[in-house]
Every structure is written in C-alpha cells, then in structure tokens.
C-alpha cells in the first residue's frame, strides 16, 4: 500500500512540474497575442503546490515573469518549500520503511 502512495507521490511531482512549465508557456503565448491571460495567482499556485521547478524552468525558458519581483522572490521560495516536502517524504519513507 505504502509503495503505491510513494509511487503516486513521484508521479504527482512530475505531472505538476510539467503542468506548471506548460502554464507559463501558454501564458507567454497569450501575452504575445493579446489574448486573455492566466491569472498570476494561478501561475504562482502551480509552483506552490509542488511545481516550483517547472515554474522556474518556465520562467527562464519562456522569459516570462522574470522582471516581476514577486515571481523572482516567491518561485525560489517555493522551490525550497517543495524541496523540504520531498526531503520529509523521503525521510518518512526511510524511517517507516515505506
């Protein structure tokens, strides 16, 4: 049972980072064409809930939101938070032999 939870945790981390990266690309494309934009809250939320590495990669790859101070501060903070969660999960897996 715990092996499945551990597996799904890593699948979640992978998927949320891919989604986060894609959301930054979609928003950049919409910004360039003058279309409706993805709210900044949504962009930041994808990073907060586990996709911070995808957010950071999307910012750099698409050169999007790189001048906004809140993104330059919050996305790296979210990376540290996401890393803390991953370390905690790994510790729990080792400690409780998941």
Axis crossing angle, helix 69-95 with helix 2-33, rounded to the nearest 10: 170
- Report phi then psi at 91, rounded to 5: -65, -45
In this prediction, residue 1 has a pLDDT band, given cuts at 50, 70 and 90, of: low
For the residues 68-78, what does the mean pLDDT come to?
98
Instruction: Provide the number of structural domains found in the chain.
Output: 1
Token pair 């900044």 in the structure block, residue = 40
- Report phi then psi at 63, rounded to 5: 50, 55
Which tokens go with 94?
């080792």
For the residues 5-24, what does the mean pLDDT come to?
95
For the residues 61-73, what does the mean pLDDT come to?
97
For the residues 52-80, what does the mean pLDDT come to?
97
DSSP 37: -
**Residue 70 structural domain:** 2-95
Global pTM reads 0.91
The upper half-sphere exposure of residue 13, i.e. CA atoms within 13 Å in the direction of its Cβ, equals 14
């Amino acid at each position: 049972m715990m092996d499945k939870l551990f597996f799904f945790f890593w699948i979640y981390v992978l998927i949320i980072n891919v989604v986060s990266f894609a959301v930054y690309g979609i928003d950049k494309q919409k910004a360039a064409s003058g279309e409706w934009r993805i709210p900044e809250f949504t962009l930041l939320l994808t990073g907060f809930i586990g996709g911070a590495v995808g957010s950071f990669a999307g910012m750099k790859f698409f050169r999007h939101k790189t001048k906004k101070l809140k993104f330059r501060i919050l996305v790296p903070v979210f990376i540290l938070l996401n890393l803390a969660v991953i370390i905690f999960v790994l510790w729990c897996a080792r400690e409780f032999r998941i």
